[in-house]
Amino acid sequence: MTATGAKVLIVDDEAEFVEFVGKFLVTSGYDVDRALHGADALMAIALARPDVVLLDVRMSGIHGVDVLKRIRSMDPTIPVIIVTADDDPVLLSRPVSSHRQESGRLGRLPGARRRSRNPRPYKRSSR
């Protein structure tokens, strides 16, 4: 048992993100499991129920929203925090789960920086 007593499952197909967040949470006293794919996450949950899941939406293989639906069918009481850098308006307006008692939608964290989908190339000024 850790100091916090909380077990966190990090699910993201970007290994660097998983490692970075995992190290931070471990040093903060959490027990951390990691999964690089949705199927691995579902297997990890079946083996040992986490206290919370950090779940990426856009992953190769099973899409994060589909992983969320499967988590809800396995155990609807597991809290899931959606983690994504995607600001697709269609995705952000999509209901997170029909299994939740309260309504929820994907949203953007306050203060999060927006990235342009079509960044302009850098132009050097002609001074």
Nearest 5 degrees, angle CA 3-CA 79-CA 99? 165
- Say whether pLDDT at 125 is over 90: no
Give the pLDDT confidence of 53-82 residue by residue, as tens digits.
999 988 888 888 899 999 999 999 999 988
Cβ contacts of 64 within 8 Å, gap of 6 or more: 11, 38, 55, 56, 57, 58, 82, 84
Give the pLDDT confidence of 20-57 residue by residue, as tens digits.
999 999 988 899 999 999 999 999 999 999 999 999 98
Question: Which residues does residue 34 pair with via DSSP β-bridges, in sequence order?
Answer: 10
**pLDDT at residue 98, as a whole number:** 43
- Say whether pLDDT at 9 is over 90: yes
When the candidates are 3.30.70.1050, 3.40.50.2300, 3.10.580.10, 3.40.190.10, the CATH number that belongs to 7-92 is 3.40.50.2300
Instruction: Please tell me the least confidently modeled range out of 48-57, 85-94, 105-114.
Output: 105-114
- Say whether pLDDT at 120 is over 70: no
Per the CB < 8 A criterion, the answer to whether 92 and 108 are in contact is yes
* Phi-psi map region of 5: left, alpha, beta (phi>0 left; psi -120 to 50 alpha): left
Question: Which residues does residue 53 pair with via DSSP β-bridges, in sequence order?
Answer: 9, 80
User: Listing from the earlier edge strand, what are the strands of the sheet with 31-35?
Assistant: 31-35, 7-11, 52-56, 80-83
Single out the residue of 88, 22, 20 nearest to residue 57, CA to CA.
88
pTM, two decimal places:
0.69
- Say whether pLDDT at 12 is over 90: yes
